[in-house]
Structure 1
């Protein structure tokens, strides 16, 4: 716990150098990079709290006649060496979500950060060592996806904790059925906007959630399912907010939207936009590469998107919002669920009672009502269902994934 507390203090003290590093290597706007550094501090502190409070439970052995005079208890033991693989989009805080809980439970880790963004991860690893983490408790492997294959296949690895694409995550699970594989994967985040919703609030949430970090978050708003009666009004609120976004240099404080991670990703995103238009969608805003750079895509709003277009089913991981109308809530829920991914979803409606009923029918790991579905507090249990994985992160939840309950029984004779 003391190591994690010291590490949190060091990250906070060095925020002025860590934030520009994030912005430079990930293309994340500097204001958002500062926010990530702040979240990393929280994640480490929450992990320190877990180190102090993680506990087992007393098992009432005398519930069975054979257990008379016996006392049972569980203690949490680390599973062993953890291979932690992290993505490029949050190269500091998502590393903290792997390393913090592992340090809390005493599990050694071999970290494999994204090949495009290793510097932020190495900075955090160095801070943990400076804070007192013994050298054998943390190592790392650098490189692209190929570098991770021997790590996940190594016989000494007891668990893989993976955050990234669904394709890679499930391939790891198939390759290692003999160990724990905790998967936190992608999403095609839907938002249902009912006709009675506060449309201005919904539009603000969509504009912020869809285009922060150029839409490169697992829970960036991607699919907007709006009641037909509210469609025109929602767009009237949304479009001016999109027009006001500043696209430019990530190191400029005024920038809202920077580049996607590379030009190949930009090419793929533009291909998906083209496919949607070929299937009948209209480009309301954006839909093009901007002169600021080969990986800079204008914030894009598509309207009238067919439900079978890729932008309505798979994770675009770019600054794209796909709008589609519905007439019945049942239809909206069916469209939202008609994706292999199920991480997080959002609902906007004035009827909280109805929203709770709809939330139960949405097949997602989390549902956020009348707030941005991109919301994540770093202590909350966070994770998906279906193609989005089956593990939960957040330090307390991850600590359970990284440990197993060992039962200890002893006899205490009655006086």
Structure 2
């Protein structure tokens, strides 16, 4: 009789329980591997499409589209001039008579004690809007400036302390330039002694509130603007005035034109972004017929539909022109290329047509973005639906894993009990046979 007492019940139970779930584990491993591949492919697809969509957004900003313009001036130091994509080429001239300025005023001969002893209310008004500062709990000039600057009702004034030669001045500055932004201090609602103290303090105007004043060309008519930023004077052009001119100076001449180099960089950015996405789609949808790896989305009707839709958009005319008018064509593999010379010629002839093509209200970029939204929409996009399907499959796999673990534990405990009992019986039999000298 063989000696089974040396067998380990735990080892046997582990082996046999493992055999019981082997087929289930093999099937589950295959399902898990397939799901992981689909998850990776979906992530790669989403990343490629999101990256392309982000590139489209960057190329379709209101003030920075595909067409890049530049602005040059005949005189340095008078203004900083920039032109965005909507600017029309042309020449403009202005003469700057006066810069806009903030109102600044200062009070001398005020001390911390004056503020500590004050009661009542100080009112500060700018352009019809006011703030009331309660003086009763203030201990110093610093407390007063903090109360003004931190007030939710602050109408646009900044209070500060200026220290020179041992003296402290309380300064009030309007936050905005312009003649209408005058700082008005009303101490009449403070106690009599404090009101008198403010009235007697040396009040000095540091800078007057003023509008920018300028003329157009050789005209003598004056125009005003509350700030030194002229962003509505010429469509698409922003003029930041920095210095006034003197009579006899030449007018500031502004020339707006197409920046061909920067525009071609924008066009190339679009081409590169499109080709990068197309390359990713090509890998994911590869049929494998040429010996390459078969893509996870090979034969997928939804992805094929996206490819067709984008190709259709590329061939669509906007404003009577399609991309080929600007030297942008597709090669035999569907990748875009740019003919630099043809693009230059098109920009010289009609630069605004590039904006119409790409950045129009119903232009190519918006149509492409609309196509992408069908897939990337966070509410009802196709990729969201597919992700939900994969999530359900993952939940099913998790459930199957739990069932396999449960079955393993049940089998293991059953086998362990059986072999433990068998081992116990064999031990008893061996002991009995030993008693009779049969062992």
TM-score, normalising length from structure 1? 0.20
Q: TM-score, normalised by structure 2?
A: 0.19
Greater RCO, 1 or 2 (C-alpha within 8 Å, sep 6+): 2
Structure number with greater Rg is 2
